[in-house]
Structure 1
């Protein structure tokens, strides 16, 4: 079933929910996003350390050639981690799961691997330029979106309220 748009034209994908219909979906999201980021950053650092050990041994085997991978190992781990978790069935990284958050696109669908990977790339890029002011954007948007959310048309929501467990 598709939703009518303008003059009888219908969209191809049905809208799962209206992300602006319930502003309570965004209550406390910004503060929980900070905690989720810290958890996820720790996970990515741990994955980077493990990958660095593997790269070291590969470097020994390749007479130092694999050591060129050290420059991008953190970014590769961040993209793979976010793509696999944020782009997965739960649409949340481990930090987001811990803090009760989930990600959706504006039409209500879950982001795929590509959107999730772009999400972390834009996050780190915006943090590099705007830190700590990257959070200020979220204070002035109705859906508590940060700059990278606005670019990718995603929203971070309270998972409990979205699933009907809210109070």
Structure 2
């Protein structure tokens, strides 16, 4: 199934647009987390090791910029999400902006730290396979491929 780019700015009603998004999200998370870790290590090496002392802060800054620019960008998907064929949309039909993408990411990381693995289990019971942070930010994840 292929969804054209115009669908990213509207909410699809077809159930196939949401089919299989939970497993794709898990793999996209792993890809993104690996990429962020590599970027942070490279930045730490580039700063002659100083970045290793500030690794948690560096990771938060890099992750914020990464997700803000990718999910808040025109494709509305991080590189891991693009690799897995999914994108984030707003349920009100508007385009995702930088701030909404940052808030979406921050709520995900906070809830993931507190509720793991229950955060993923919520997607099995909520319509459109949405997770708790999707409900709080008014977003949903759809298939693009």
Q: Judge conservation of contact 1:55–1:69 (CA < 8 Å) in 2.
A: no
Count of residue correspondences: 137
Q: Partner of 2:45 in structure 1?
A: 53
Q: Partner of 1:27 in structure 2?
A: 19
Runs of 4+ aligned residues of structure 1 deviating over 4 Å after TM superposition are: none
Q: Judge conservation of contact 1:44–1:74 (CA < 8 Å) in 2.
A: yes
Q: Partner of 1:146 in structure 2?
A: 131
The TM-score, its normalising length taken from structure 2, stands at 0.86
Q: Partner of 2:10 in structure 1?
A: 17
Q: Judge conservation of contact 2:70–2:76 (CA < 8 Å) in 1.
A: yes
For the aligned residue pairs, the C-alpha RMSD in angstroms reads 1.8
Larger Rg: 1
Q: Judge conservation of contact 1:55–1:70 (CA < 8 Å) in 2.
A: no
**What 5-or-longer segments of structure 1 have no aligned partner?**
1-15, 60-65, 161-167
Match of 2:92, SS state, is: coil
Q: Higher helix fraction: Structure 1 or Structure 2?
A: 2
User: Can you list the C-alpha shifts for 1:123-162, whole angstroms capped at 9, x where unaligned?
Assistant: 11111001112101111111111111111000000113xx
Q: CA deviation at 1:67?
A: 7.1
Q: Distance in 1 between matches of 2:77 and 2:11?
A: 19
Select the structure with the greater relative contact order (CA < 8 A; seq sep ≥ 6).
2
Task: Give runs of aligned pairs for residues 147-166 of structure 1, distance below 5 A.
Answer: 147-160=132-145
Q: Partner of 2:3 in structure 1?
A: none
Cα distance, 1:119–1:18 mapped onto 2, change above 3 Å: closer
Match of 1:126, SS state, is: helix
